[in-house]
Structure 1
């Protein structure tokens, strides 16, 4: 099978490209700059430079592909304008699927976010049927993913649209780094300040495997949560300290009221068009137990998940090997 994978320099796309090549597929990686690609040149891989908003170039990249895996997205948390997210994450996705339809591609895998669905508790985690809820309904990134899903599903009579919704991914080849920042924040630190909430963590290579399984066995219009371990931030940072083998360290929970105060300060900065990760929405997100279930992916796709501890080990090793972490 020949597949187009967008966002080829990102954490998930890099691991997905690596897996697809290992399985004997031919891959065209859509990327804005070949210099940012993390894998070596190899048979079966073509890198195609293009912006996802450049329709003629995207259509050329899709040519002769059997399937499209759309991963590219604007994920930064510091942009104060929703239109920036909508432009890339909604209009860009629409560009990709229209090009795929024009080239008579059969399947379109859209990598969305778990937060387009409602989170739950440890006892009752969120599922694919859980409606999205605050604070994610007001978070620009999550909102754009929800809007993109709705837009893409409107094309499902012309092309199979299958959604993959990962939780928080960790693992190797995180070159920015992106989600791996949480490891850099806590690994081998003498003092760690952690928020009161929690989230679901998953090995990025499991998500790549889930994409492959969804391509083979996923159903049109269906969504599949790629989720694994629900952990409080306290538990996660304790795991990091265990891995770093630091014997003496101090962990302090940041009170919710302090996070919200910082968030409202961020809202003021954003009002003056200043880029910042701080916002009341982002701080509220850190205070919720953002937990999900993986039962549908196990049941319908045959997913098996590796311990998050393994993802942490391999992410740390990759960061060290690439001079990102000492």
Structure 2
């Protein structure tokens, strides 16, 4: 039995599709019935009969932060893909990020040890990797610098420490650190917001850039690592390092709109994060741009995937083709 936590998210839903199509026996947790419909929609991108595949999954309603309700999730489980996480860059969400990403991961690790799980794959993030310096690509060996990290990155790094702690207690583990994951179906969160923003024909783009990877590449890397003898290793998953302008230049034509051409100035970014802080404190609104995230927008981060390429002979798919696929699905739904 394979357990996938966070199966109703972007990576989790695509991983479930891959595992079921490959003939595996799979279990996944969910929190609400509505979240299952998101998975059904994703399955529908790749098959005409998503319901049949959905019915092959052993769905268990459970929250990884509620330890008392997790025992049934781990019955007869041999392998665990831990994809569940909360994504937020609002400093006010630090406590809930800590609970979900760190304490939730500790629960998964502890129950994996308790139930004799053979191997665990944890989905972290490049947000938990030390930043690149002087245009050099960041690697898995880069030194962690919490001062430059977002609250999300801090909790993902701390979650990795829980996974490494599990490895010291006898659990076989691997960690993947994907860049911004490009994939269809979640247009109001994560990378989906780039497609939504571009579709509106906006004029402005943010400076800087980062590493990008397709959801298919993430799923393939995870399953290859789990089926290998590799353990106690972490791997950056980045297909291409791009500026946000370069990304919009790829997305916009496939959506039939003009790409944004005006760069948001440093002054505007500095003003906006300060105004956002005042707005949040006066009116209790959610932060849209924290100071740490704003500072990161000035730079183009570079990440190396040479380790996964060399150890698994891994080949990334065509990013442009994957972006076009996402654009086609976006247009069909709008």
TM over 0.5: yes
The alignment of Structure 1 onto Structure 2 pairs a total of residues equal to 319
Counterpart residue number, 2:248: 237
Which stretch has the larger CA shift, 114-123 or 3-12?
114-123
Counterpart residue number, 2:322: 311
Which stretch has the larger CA shift, 312-321 or 82-91?
312-321
Distance 1:85 1:207 in 2: 23
Instruction: Give matches, 1:31-180, under 5 Å.
Output: 31-37=30-36, 38-39=39-40, 40-41=50-51, 42=53, 44-78=56-90, 80-120=92-132, 124-133=136-145, 136-137=148-149, 139-156=150-167, 157-174=169-186, 176-180=188-192
1:256 maps to 2:261 = no
Counterpart residue number, 2:210: 199
Distance 2:280 2:101 in 1: 21
- Residues 134 and 269 (structure 1 numbering): CA distance in 2 closer, same or farther, change over 3 Å? farther
The one-character-per-residue Cα deviations of 1:22-69 (angstroms, maximum 9, x if unpaired) are 222111111112331222342641111111112232221111011111
Q: Which 5+ residue runs of structure 1 have no aligned equivalent?
A: none
State whether residues 266 and 280 of structure 1, in contact with CA within 8 Å, keep that contact through their aligned partners in structure 2.
no
Distance 1:79 1:101 in 2: 32
Q: Which 5+ residue runs of structure 2 have no aligned equivalent?
A: 41-49
| TM-score normalized by the length of structure 2 | 0.89
- Residues 101 and 236 (structure 1 numbering): CA distance in 2 closer, same or farther, change over 3 Å? same
State whether residues 6 and 30 of structure 1, in contact with CA within 8 Å, keep that contact through their aligned partners in structure 2.
yes
State whether residues 198 and 286 of structure 1, in contact with CA within 8 Å, keep that contact through their aligned partners in structure 2.
yes
Distance 1:290 1:214 in 2: 25
1:184 maps to 2:183 = no
Cα offset for 1:221? 2.0
Which stretch has the larger CA shift, 156-165 or 30-39?
30-39
What's the C-alpha RMSD, in Å, of the aligned pairs? 2.1
Distance 1:299 1:171 in 2: 25
Which stretch has the larger CA shift, 39-48 or 176-185?
39-48
The one of the two structures with greater contact order (alpha-carbon pairs below 8 A, sep at least 6) is 1
State whether residues 198 and 259 of structure 2, in contact with CA within 8 Å, keep that contact through their aligned partners in structure 1.
no
- Residues 122 and 65 (structure 1 numbering): CA distance in 2 closer, same or farther, change over 3 Å? farther
